[in-house]
Amino acid sequence: MRQKLAAGNWKMNGTGAVLAELEALIQAQGAAKSELLICPPATLLSRAAEIASGSHLAIGGQDCHAASSGAHTGDLSAHMLKEAGATAVILGHSERRADHGEGSEGVAAKASAAWGAGLTAVICLGETLEEREAGETLHVIGTQLATSLPDGATGANTVIAYEPVWAIGTGKVPSLEQIAEVHDFLRAELATRFGADMAAATRLLYGGSVKPSNAAEIFATSNVDGALVGGASLKAADFAPIIQALDAS
């Protein structure tokens, strides 16, 4: 049985004061049935891990370099994230792909590095609005999955997050049928490449304008095992109802 996962991506938001939201979230959701993950900015990672120590809440990074060390100014290795208290790392987010020109082959290299450091790789996939309107969604998602996910992926070291680019932070959400189509496709693709057992063990998250008002119906959709949440994860009062909806699904 796959454990459901509610993951929060704080992106480039928050200074030390926002860590009070972590404390509030732990107090509010200490008994959550779902796994909880918050990925704060790197400057807050070690302090967040200290706050979350001994709780039901895990802490993750938002990116890592494929190399373990070297002349890579401004980058962080997977081992550095691990030492700072991370247990997971988001890779291949559409904002990284767009803002930094990251390709799927590079994402795969980062995933291997994450596994080597003992981190779970949360690998993001998603199509643009133009690709969706051109009927290319499954082709785009399938290509990203094939090239972003290295051999050696398991349900224990990998989470897949489907985030349509056009739905991130826009308030637009795909129909439940569109979400189910992609998640069903992802499960089938994993089974074809890695086998039925791996596919059945791998959690598939939906991300893109998830909020308390639509969380329950999204979590009731075929093959959705949780969510990767952006803005709504910054405040415990907004994230808690999403977690509660996931627990109830």
Out of 21, 35, 65, 93, the active site residue is 93
Specify the DSSP class assigned to residue 56: S
Q: What is the pLDDT of residues 127-163, one digit of tens each?
A: 999 999 999 999 999 999 999 999 999 999 999 999 9
Amino acid at the residue 81: L
Domains and CATH numbers, the chain: 5-248 (3.20.20.70)
- pLDDT of residue 29 exceeding 80, the answer is no
Write the CB contacts of 87 (distance below 8 Å, at least 6 apart in sequence). Answer: 37, 58, 59, 60, 118, 119, 120
Write the CB contacts of 28 (distance below 8 Å, at least 6 apart in sequence). Answer: 236, 240
The SS3 assignment for 239 reads helix
Is residue 163 part of the annotated active site? The answer reads yes
What's the pTM? Answer: 0.96
Out of 21, 35, 127, 163, the active site residue is 163
CA–CA dist 203, 43 (Å, integer) = 28
Is residue 100 part of the annotated active site? The answer reads no
